[in-house]
Amino acid sequence: MVKPALLIVDDDPMIVDTLNFVLQREFTVYSAASRADAQALLRGLDRAPPLALVDLGLPPAPHRPDEGYALIAELIARAPNMKILVLSGQNAEASARHARTLGAIEFIAKPCDPAKIKAILLDALHMSEAEMRAAAADSGLVGASLPIEKLRCQIAQYANAPFPVLIEGESGSGKELVAAALHRMSARAARAFLALNCAAIAPTLVEPTLFGYSKGSFTGATSSRAGYFEDAKDSTLFLDEIGELPLELQAKLLRVLENGEYQRVGETQSRVSNARVIAATNRNLRNEMRSGRFRADLYHRLSVFTIGVPPLRDLGDDKHLLLAYYRDFYARQAASAPFELDEQALSLWLDYPFPGNVRELRNIVIRLSTKYGGQRIALAQLEAELDMERMQPDAPPLPVRQDFKTALEAAKKHLQTQKDFNLDLMLQQWEQSYVEAALAATAGNLSRAAKLLGIQRTTLYSRMRNYESARES
């Protein structure tokens, strides 16, 4: 039986040796003493481990959490589904919250009983396996907001086209989920969906991984091997973090996109691929293009269709729907009753900006399900799980602080005396300007904007949908 892999990053050899002794029966343990060592180790592996234990205080600054924070972000970029647990003497609550915001699922303060660490790791592994099974069965998008409805429409519209798609969005927003949905809704769905994270492997290995290689073409090439473009025949190839692709390889990728031709490393014979390419990035490729780090011709070829995945902070009450979806899912996995949020905690949940997007939300639900299964969670308990420093400050008042309905009534009385005005159109313009001013004053926080306008959040959504429909017509 193949044991699951575990990465331990800690500069204390005694801790590493102890954990390796305790965990080696259940896991294949890889260890590194620094962020640089961890990066080098991962470049040598065929795939990233599903689990990681990371110390925050790493060389060259072991008394600060900066290196640990950077490593968590890099691990998530390399392997978005990796379950990262922080095992650290940096036990300040602010450090724990920020580590979780970056993508860690749990924070374990040193010292900790190794048996307890093993139990937490096994739980995380089971959770990861359950998520993979659920994703294989149902990779639909959760949400009812206007941006998510637009996203669904774009997926349905572009799914069956043979042309490339560029998916743009922040880290943790669900770009791979969108790519998988494009494949699942296409005529290629019966074939395997292949994905490669361009940031996850060494630059020297990207070309043989994508295009394959012949025996003897480089040290270690003991046999010929097909690449992703060959394996993705009649299927979909997802290239995540495309902005990390080295410049010299961008020309070769452009050639495949234009005419399907490529060559294995070490061969002169041209081969042809009909793989449908979907690429994703959390970078602004237009800026990368202007700075010379990304080819303009490749950008325009990749972006035949472009899909923007919205950040969670823009999805309003979808935060509630996602809460319910993940809460019920993890309660089923744990065979326990789901938790509930009291009124104040739910209000905070809807106002929290989730800088780590859906990944952060999911990890928070995992922790709440583990700690408070079947319980009612109060405001203070939820605050302990959030990075409260990332909350938006209270919004300043509008220049003229009036109740929304009062302002509209005053406008209506004035306009009724003006025979030359289109009353309905003018009222709509006034109304929209108030809404836009409230959203600007609250930095896009829909809950605070609704409160500032003196209307319900659902009413604000309805107004925004009307404006969007009017613009599209």
Question: Checking DSSP bridges between strand 193-197 and strand 376-377, what pairing results, if any?
Answer: unpaired
Question: What pLDDT, on the 0 to 100 scale, is given for residue 402?
Answer: 46
CA of 353: how far to CAs of 357, 393, 445, in Å?
Answer: 8, 11, 8
Q: How confident is the model at residue 409 (pLDDT cuts 50, 70, 90)?
A: low
Per-residue pLDDT at 410 exceeds 90 = no
Q: How confident is the model at residue 307 (pLDDT cuts 50, 70, 90)?
A: very high
What ranges do the domains of the chain cover?
A: 5-137, 146-312, 315-390, 404-472
Contacts of 143 (CB under 8 A, 6+ apart): 315, 318, 321, 322
> Of the ranges 206-215, 315-324, 427-436, which one carries the lowest mean pLDDT score?
427-436
Average pLDDT for residues 174-189, to the nearest whole number? 92
CA of 58: how far to CAs of 55, 114, 359, in Å?
Answer: 7, 20, 25
Q: How confident is the model at residue 245 (pLDDT cuts 50, 70, 90)?
A: very high
Rounded Cα distance between 235 and 195, Å, is 11
Contacts of 251 (CB under 8 A, 6+ apart): 295, 298
Rounded Cα distance between 250 and 210, Å, is 12
Rounded Cα distance between 179 and 286, Å, is 21
**Could you give the dihedral angle defined by the CA atoms of residues 91, 336, 373 and 69, in that order, rounded to the nearest 10 degrees?**
30
Fold type of domain 315-390: Helicase, Ruva Protein; domain 3 (1.10.8)
Question: What pLDDT, on the 0 to 100 scale, is given for residue 396?
Answer: 44
Q: Residue 68 carries which side chain, given as an amino acid letter?
A: G
Average pLDDT for residues 180-204, to the nearest whole number? 89
The hierarchical CATH code for the domain 146-312 is 3.40.50.300
Name the percent of the chain in helix, strand, coil, to the closest 5: 50, 10, 35
The hierarchical CATH code for the domain 404-472 is 1.10.10
Per-residue pLDDT at 351 exceeds 60 = yes
Question: What pLDDT, on the 0 to 100 scale, is given for residue 468?
Answer: 66
Average pLDDT for residues 206-217, to the nearest whole number? 92
Question: What pLDDT, on the 0 to 100 scale, is given for residue 413?
Answer: 61
> Of the ranges 12-16, 300-304, 417-421, 460-464, which one carries the lowest mean pLDDT score?
417-421
Question: What pLDDT, on the 0 to 100 scale, is given for residue 111?
Answer: 81
> Of the ranges 215-224, 275-284, 294-303, which one carries the lowest mean pLDDT score?
215-224
3.30.420.40, 2.170.150.70, 3.40.50.2300, 1.20.140.10: which CATH number matches 5-137? 3.40.50.2300
Rounded Cα distance between 208 and 217, Å, is 10
Question: What pLDDT, on the 0 to 100 scale, is given for residue 405?
Answer: 53
Average pLDDT for residues 85-112, to the nearest whole number? 82
Average pLDDT for residues 96-117, to the nearest whole number? 86
Per-residue pLDDT at 420 exceeds 70 = no
Q: Which of 119, 20, 31, 135 is nearest to 81 (CA)?
A: 135
8 A C-beta contact, residue 196 and residue 238? yes
On average, the pLDDT of the chain sits at 85
Rounded Cα distance between 345 and 364, Å, is 13
Q: Comparing 5-137 with 146-312, is the CATH topology the same?
A: yes
Average pLDDT for residues 292-308, to the nearest whole number? 95
**For 137-154, how does the pLDDT look when each residue is reduced to its tens digit (9 = 90+)?**
554 688 888 899 899 989
Q: Which residue has the tokens 């180790």?
A: 41
Rounded Cα distance between 407 and 405, Å, is 5
Per-residue pLDDT at 471 exceeds 70 = no
HEC string of 400-461? CCCCHHHHHHHHHHHHCCCCCCCHHHHHHHHHHHHHHHHHHHCCCCHHHHHHHHCCCHHHHH
Rounded Cα distance between 389 and 69, Å, is 16
8 A C-beta contact, residue 7 and residue 41? yes
Q: How confident is the model at residue 394 (pLDDT cuts 50, 70, 90)?
A: very low
Per-residue pLDDT at 472 exceeds 90 = no
Helix (H) or strand (E) holding 111: none
- Judged by DSSP in three states, 27 sits in coil
Per-residue pLDDT at 226 exceeds 60 = yes
Rounded Cα distance between 107 and 98, Å, is 10
Question: What pLDDT, on the 0 to 100 scale, is given for residue 393?
Answer: 46
**For 55-80, how does the pLDDT look when each residue is reduced to its tens digit (9 = 90+)?**
998 999 888 888 999 899 888 877 77
Q: How confident is the model at residue 96 (pLDDT cuts 50, 70, 90)?
A: confident
Question: What pLDDT, on the 0 to 100 scale, is given for residue 279?
Answer: 97
Q: How confident is the model at residue 381 (pLDDT cuts 50, 70, 90)?
A: very high
Contacts of 40 (CB under 8 A, 6+ apart): 32
Q: How confident is the model at residue 401 (pLDDT cuts 50, 70, 90)?
A: very low
Decide which of 168 and 123 is more confident.
168
High-pLDDT (> 70) share of the chain, %: 84
The secondary structure of residue 142, as a DSSP letter, is P
CA of 175: how far to CAs of 161, 242, 337, 402, in Å?
Answer: 18, 12, 31, 41
